[in-house]
Amino acid sequence: MKLRLGARGSALSRVQAEWVARALAQRADVEIVTIRTTGDRLSAAGAPIGWKGDFTKELDAALLGHEIDLAVHSLKDVPSALPPGVALAAVPKREDPADVLVASPRRAFAELPPGARVGTSSPRRRAQLLAARPDLDVFDARGNVDTRLRRLAEGKWDAIVLARAGLARLGRLGDICDVFAPEILLPAIGQGALAVVARADDPAVGDVLSSIEDGASRSEVAAERSLLAGLEAGCHAPVAGLARASAGRVSLTGAVFSPDGRRMLRESAEDAAGRAAELGRALAERLLARGAAGILAEATA
């Protein structure tokens, strides 16, 4: 079976696509098709990303137009509602979803001096960094992973915060100086997971992709994405969530933050893995009942 796999123009997306191609090699001949997205162009220019769909919409259009047969994304870049006709066909085994610190010179988070310049483009990370260390100066750090690491080496910041999964896939785990516990820095929704999407009416491709599906990872991201959808929070909202699936159960912790990190609501719960989406919705309702909507409105105003 011949399949055309769409991937973004970034180095990380290419690595992800090559992994999918290798994983499917025994069942399909996979050709990687590079499609430059709006998100790629904005990121290269150092401009802010308007919404998560900026990283996916061109690939979705190519998929629905039968130019490609499937596409791979970092799941945290995928909007909580997929376009009609596009299905989340496979969630492979998830990488460690933790956030990590890369510093120059090398040192741990607790060793950063007061006033240290820490770079991140994520409102979620910014809020939690300031909650843990209000003495830090947190700056915007845009661009792909290689760009941020280069600017760190050039002295633009004293440290940057990145996803461990991206560094793992790029073979750069040696750059990590510290790994944040979720109690300090709760990850982004879907962080560490890949999303392989296909046309909803293409069962042949869905059958091929079943070979790389991981049930536990699917349950985890279902809970997290349902939490995000229930909060009706966009990509600029400081929302975090981490689910863990084991032995037929899934636990979920979710949180919302004010931009300065001074206000935080956090809730945890668990349920059967088959009820992961219901768990996410229930946790969102608990956060909303405690005033999450007001905090999110402040963050996105």
Catalytic residues: 77
**Checking DSSP bridges between strand 117-119 and strand 137-139, what pairing results, if any?**
parallel
CA–CA dist 235, 246 (Å, integer): 28
Instruction: Give the DSSP H or E segment for 208.
Output: helix 203-209
Single out the residue of 162, 133, 138 nearest to residue 150, CA to CA: 162
Helices marked H in the chain: 11-23, 38-44, 57-64, 123-132, 145-153, 164-169, 203-209, 215-231, 276-289, 292-300
At 23 the three-state DSSP class reads helix
CA–CA dist 202, 128 (Å, integer): 42
CA–CA dist 283, 278 (Å, integer): 9
